[in-house]
Amino acid sequence: MPEATTFSSLFEATRRSLLGEPKELPAVWLYDERGSQLYEEITRLPDYYPPRREAEILRARAGEITRRTRARTLVELGSGDARRTRFLLDALTELGTLERFAPVDVSEEILRQSAWAIAGDYPALSVEPVAGDFARGLEALPAEAPLLVAILGSTVGNLYPAQRAELLERLAGELGADDALLLGLDLVKDPARLERAYHDATGVTEAFARNALTAADRELGAKFEQRRFVYEPRWDADEEWMDIGLRARAAHVVSVGRLGLELAFEADERLRVEISAKFRRERFEPELRRAGLLVEEWWTDGAGDFALVLARPE
């Protein structure tokens, strides 16, 4: 979980979210060590297509990406196990430009493991992990250009539009003329496929969502009783995102001791733990332009499920 120095701000953000409409646990509570392990299991599920589609694009385009960017430093925000990042690391190493890799992730355990493995596999590379959220990662951006910032796995889809706009605007302001941004985007598709991807028959996706309640109980002194909630991810057609959360079986009250809250849930009231927005080029490209970023390339996999976008500051 987050460092002690960040707990105060995280607790305040959690308090605001739980008092909002709908009630929400910030997604950071999903990604303790156990949650990160569960997420990696999700990426291997047959119906969870994004990792395979993104890997298909990276396998085909990594050489072109590296020739276009010639990055000396690669920063990955939300790196996880950095499995697919190795396509970029391999291509940049072969090109001979890459000197530093800075993975950024909220899960310190997964970050340590992946950084250790990459340092062993790429001994000429300086590996400098940063534990924290995107803001912490941006504060640690190195000055050496050219810089490539990667946000893979459609991680930007877990941000609300205003949060996404803030991140993109900040990146546009931080990146220099020779720097670039690489974004992985899950595209809008048949809602039935999306719902299968987020509610698998083996229960791994449900365990991942419920782990947020377990983490909140442990870190916040909360009293979420799992049996009182039903896992219920659903497609929001208006927002074009998967709304991932749980529904109260009956009216009850949840105490959150360290936040001084007594949360009253009505029967069938939802508790959101994450959103996962899906994208269309005709809507997202103007979003990038408003942030001060221009699309240089937009690649998709053969099935048109996923996109990889290379953008630069105006």
Blockwise average pLDDT, block size 10, the chain, 314 residues: 58 95 94 89 94 97 97 93 95 96 88 94 94 75 84 96 96 94 98 95 97 96 97 97 98 97 98 98 98 98 98 96
What is the model's pLDDT at position 313? 97
Full DSSP string of 249-311: SS-EEEEEGGGTEEEEEPTT-EEEEEEEE-B-HHHHHHHHHHHTEEEEEEEE-TTSSEEEEEE
Of 125, 140, 37, 49, give the one whose Cα is nearest residue 86: 125
Q: Which two tokens stand for residue 149?
A: 């910032």
What is the model's pLDDT at position 143? 65
Contact indicator for 234, 54 with CB cutoff of 8 Å: no
What is the model's pLDDT at position 280? 98
Distance CA 213, CA 128 (A): 31
Q: Which two tokens stand for residue 181?
A: 């941004």
What is the model's pLDDT at position 5? 41
What is the model's pLDDT at position 162? 97
What is the model's pLDDT at position 141? 67
pTM above 0.85, yes or no: yes
Q: 116-123 long-range contacts, Cβ below 8 Å, gap at least 24?
A: 118/82, 118/86, 118/89, 121/86, 122/89, 122/93
What is the model's pLDDT at position 4? 41
What is the model's pLDDT at position 131? 86
Look at the alpha carbons of 87, 88, 89, 91 in this order and tell me if their dihedral is positive or negative.
Answer: positive
Q: Which CATH superfamily is domain 50-189+279-313 in?
A: Vaccinia Virus protein VP39 (3.40.50.150)
Q: Give the model confidence (pLDDT) of 227-271 as tens digits.
A: 999 999 999 999 999 999 999 999 999 999 999 999 999 999 999
Of 84, 67, 49, give the one whose Cα is nearest residue 302: 49
Q: Return the domain boundaries, the chain.
A: 4-30+203-277, 50-189+279-313
What is the model's pLDDT at position 119? 95
Contacts of 44 (CB under 8 A, 6+ apart): 51
